[in-house]
Amino acid sequence: MPLFNKFFKNMNNKCILKPDFVTGLSDAERCSSVRVWENKRTKFKINVQLDFKIKMLENETELLYMVRSFFNCGILWHYSKDGTVWFRVQDIYSIKNNIIPHFLKYPLRGTKYLDFLSFKEAFHIIESKEHLTKKGMDKLYSLSKGMNTGREYLTDVYYSPNHTK
């Protein structure tokens, strides 16, 4: 099978990414986060935002346009300082209807799967309006600190997600 056919499908001379390819790319280049920052004008003095992004070098811009087309949402940010481009999704509607359903159907592997579970939990806290309470904001803050590079791993335990066995 040619490499092109393995990762892409051609629809009316337009390249469309395959779902498994998007998940694999996300496993390598994606970051899901719960951003929490101080805002003295809000009830609990902090703001919160969900952020899904894939960061690549500018020479991969066309691929990120294809990712944006695949998800049918998001924007591309170009950072000239470090020569990168980011595909970003921050709106709740797109996270609910495009991002989360994709990764439920085509799950991530490894530790990024754990970050996805935390991201999904944060989404449910926001969707249920629990984030409008002190307890909900504390949960979101805790989730944000335990994701990505903030995640603590047990060094004496081998991690293998159940869905990959």
With a cut of 70, say whether residue 69 has pLDDT above it: yes
- CA 74 from chain center: how many Å? 11
DSSP 56-78: EEGGGHHHHHHHHHHHT--EEEE
- Residue with the larger pLDDT of the pair 162 and 85: 85
- Residue with the larger pLDDT of the pair 64 and 30: 64
At 4-23, the pLDDT tens digits run: 444 545 545 566 899 999 99
At 30-47, the pLDDT tens digits run: 888 888 777 777 777 777
Confidence at residue 137, expressed as pLDDT on a 0 to 100 scale: 86
Report the CATH fold assignment for 3-164.
Endonuclease I-creI (3.10.28)
With a cut of 60, say whether residue 117 has pLDDT above it: yes
Q: What gap in Å lies between CA 42 and CA 142, rounded to an integer? A: 19
Q: Where are the domains of the chain?
A: 3-164
- Name, in order, each residue with C-beta under 8 angstroms of 87's C-beta and a sequence gap of 6 or more: 53, 54, 64, 67, 68, 74, 75, 76
Most confident of 35-39, 97-101, 116-120: 97-101
In this structure, what token pair is assigned to residue 29? Answer: 């280049």
| Percent of the chain whose predicted confidence (pLDDT) is above 90 | 48
Confidence at residue 6, expressed as pLDDT on a 0 to 100 scale: 47
pLDDT band for position 161 (cuts 50, 70, 90): low
With a cut of 60, say whether residue 97 has pLDDT above it: yes
Query: Is the full-model pTM beyond 0.75?
Result: yes
Measured on CA atoms in the order 23, 101, 94, 150, is the torsion positive or negative?
negative
